[in-house]
Amino acid sequence: MVFKRRDPLTWGEWLREQVYPRSGFKRATRYVVYRMRRLPDRPHRVARGVFAGFFIGFLPLPGLQFLAAWVAARLLRGNVLAALLGTFNTNPVTTPFFAVLAMTLGHWIMGIEAPLNAHYIGRAFAEAGHDLWFNFMALFGPQKTQWDGLIQFWHEIYVPYFIGALGPAIILSVAAYYITIPLVEAYQKARAATAHERAERRRKMRAKLAEAAAKLKLRGERGGDEADDDAPGSP
């Protein structure tokens, strides 16, 4: 299985892996690429899956990326496992830079004039989080729900992020699509050649063993004939 581990991670270890993989981002990226190359499917189907996964991975869909990647891969008739692996294109190091780029483009497209800096973004997240917690607690008390922080976050952060991410996501996903095809083709050809060489070596080994067995059998038959000739009473 692609995602099965010999020693399952605890919740604390899993959360740490999401922030910074124990083996480092370089090794984690190499592992994902390695798994994509080994997928037993046609290169174009794997590439379509990678396109779907990359595209979804760049969009702000927390908690829904795997489901969205699965749906996108099915719609594009791509490899589902490649799509799921493709969602790992983002990580805590690169995501903030891409998010700022996407929000900047989104603000420009939507004509939003706001100071897009760390203080502004942090305050928007804080107010949205406060509203979420307050509204949750209001379910068990007399308080009335409040939505001002969530509405501001939706209009000034999330929607601009989503709209601004579409263009770069398409460009990077198309690039990943065209890079994936020759990589998978080269790997599958090399693997097929290796399998052919191994099969040829096994065939030659079986031929040698069969030849050796035939020689031993012939020697045994000759030895039996000589024994019969030397037996008493033989003409």
How far is Cα 12 from Cα 19, in angstroms, rounded to an integer? 11
Using CA atoms, how far residue 93 sits from 21, 97, 120, 187, 205, in Å, is: 11, 8, 20, 29, 53
The mean pLDDT values, 10 residues at a time, for the chain of 235 residues are 56 52 53 56 86 92 88 90 83 81 92 83 89 87 86 92 94 93 83 76 82 76 57 52
Model pLDDT, residue 58: 92
Give me the pLDDT at residue 22, please: 57
Phi-psi region of 233 (alpha: psi -120 to 50; beta: other; left: phi over 0): left
**pLDDT at residue 25, rounded to an integer:** 47
Q: Are 106 and 162 in contact (CB under 8 A)?
A: yes
What global pTM score does this model have?
0.68
